[in-house]
């Protein structure tokens, strides 16, 4: 049986929102380390973080994140759309020991290797929080601008779908294991539960490390939350784009490289990192592409996102 998230009033539907969670991306990345069959898109990242992994002791964290059920206190849904990792980690460090103990008992089977975590929940909470902080600093933060751009690009796409087809169209397209029927969202995971979605709404969180799975958090007091694979992860770790010679002759190599790199809506900083160019150069060249009708720019929170127009995509395709 799936997890059922039931919407009982129109207000509950309107309370749905998106969020980008640095903490959740960190826990998802750690889970990926224990799942070789899910690592195909992330080989470049794995090679980059190999020295850090050799120095980190992830044993306690892998013990609680590898099972089907993961303790909710390690991944509280963010209160806003773009929380800081430090603020999210502070919530983990404040988790009541009684809650920690109950969720660890639900996650872990008693054994010599898990006894210390089960016997001392407050100490376990602090150890797990310290390990998460080290994982963020060594495994995720150096690549966060690139990851954040993919996540923001996914949200931009979903909000466009929302405007064109409504929330039902968005929910129907999240993941094959997510189904919307009769005011109820069904998520086919290894759990069975029914949760009423109240005025706190539903949190939708794209993830670069979740593929090919979907995750759902349904226990109170947290808002029900769905983690789903973000669009664009296939090109996530591509360092540069290789435009055709014909396009480079037409618009110039730098502008051709930027146009080819815009596979998803991307910020100036993200585009600069992907193409190994200074921010000032990217800003100047994107402005030229925008004037030519090949790129559009919109604001998403604090960031400007650049998107290839249909004309830009057509030009890129016809010159390959």
% of the chain surpassing 70 pLDDT = 94
pLDDT digits (tens, 9 = 90+) for 215-245: 888 888 788 899 999 988 877 886 555 667 8
pLDDT given for residue 299 in this prediction: 81
Q: In this model, does residue 255 exceed pLDDT 60?
A: yes
Q: In this model, does residue 320 exceed pLDDT 60?
A: no
pLDDT digits (tens, 9 = 90+) for 116-149: 899 999 999 999 999 999 999 999 998 998 898 8
Average of per-residue pLDDT across 19-24: 95
pLDDT given for residue 241 in this prediction: 55
Q: In this model, does residue 28 exceed pLDDT 60?
A: yes
pLDDT given for residue 97 in this prediction: 95
Residues 283, 285: Cα–Cα separation, whole Å: 6
Residue that wins the pLDDT comparison between 316 and 102: 102
pLDDT band at 319 (very low <50, low <70, confident <90, very high): low
DSSP 124-159: HHHHHHHHHHHHIIIIIGGGHHHHHHHHHHHHHHHH
Of 182, 180, 160, 164, which Cα lies nearest the Cα of 172? 180
pLDDT digits (tens, 9 = 90+) for 164-176: 888 888 888 889 9
Query: Which of these CATH numbers, 3.40.50.300, 3.40.30.10, 1.10.10.10, 3.30.1120.10, describes 238-318?
Result: 1.10.10.10
Average pLDDT, the chain: 88
For residue 244, give both structure tokens. 């055709």
User: What SS3 state is found at 121?
Assistant: helix
β-pairing verdict for 225-229 and 303-308: unpaired
pLDDT given for residue 263 in this prediction: 79
Given CA atoms 37, 107, 215, 17 in this order, what sign does their dihedral have?
negative
DSSP 230-244: PTTGGGTT-------
Q: Name the CA dihedral angle for 202, 137, 147, 187, rounded to a multiple of 10 degrees.
A: -30
Residues 105, 96: Cα–Cα separation, whole Å: 14
The residue ranges of every structural domain in the chain are: 3-233, 238-318
Q: Name the CA dihedral angle for 148, 151, 154, 156, rounded to a multiple of 10 degrees.
A: -50
């Amino acid at each position: 049986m799936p997890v059922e998230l039931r919407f009982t009033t129109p207000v509950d539907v309107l309370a749905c929102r998106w969020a980008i969670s640095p903490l959740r991306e960190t826990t998802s990345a750690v889970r990926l380390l224990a799942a070789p069959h899910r690592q195909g898109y992330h080989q470049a990242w794995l090679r980059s973080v190999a020295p850090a992994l050799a120095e980190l002791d992830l044993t306690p964290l892998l013990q609680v994140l590898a099972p089907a059920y993961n303790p909710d206190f390690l991944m509280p849904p963010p209160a806003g759309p773009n929380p800081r990792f430090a603020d999210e980690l502070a919530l983990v460090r404040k988790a009541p020991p009684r809650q920690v103990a109950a969720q660890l008992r639900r996650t872990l089977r008693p054994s010599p290797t898990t006894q210390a975590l089960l016997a001392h929940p407050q100490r376990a909470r602090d150890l797990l929080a310290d390990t998460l902080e080290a994982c963020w600093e060594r495994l995720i933060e150096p690549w966060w601008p690139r990851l954040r751009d993919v996540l923001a690009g996914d949200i931009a796409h979903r909000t466009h779908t929302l405007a064109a087809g409504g929330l039902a169209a968005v929910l129907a397209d999240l993941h094959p294991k997510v189904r919307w029927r009769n005011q109820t969202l069904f998520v086919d995971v290894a759990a069975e539960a029914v949760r009423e979605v109240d005025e706190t709404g539903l949190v939708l969180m794209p993830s670069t490390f979740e593929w090919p799975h979907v995750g759902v958090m349904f226990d109170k007091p947290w808002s029900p939350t769905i983690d789903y694979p973000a669009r664009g992860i296939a090109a996530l770790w591509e360092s540069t784009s290789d435009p055709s010679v014909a396009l480079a002759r037409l618009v110039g190599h730098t502008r051709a490289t930027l146009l080819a790199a815009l596979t998803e809506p991307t910020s100036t900083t993200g585009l600069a990192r992907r193409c190994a160019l200074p921010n000032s150069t990217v800003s100047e060249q994107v402005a030229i592409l925008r004037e030519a009708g090949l790129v559009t720019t919109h604001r998403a929170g604090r960031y400007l996102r650049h998107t290839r127009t249909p004309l830009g995509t057509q030009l890129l395709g016809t010159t390959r």
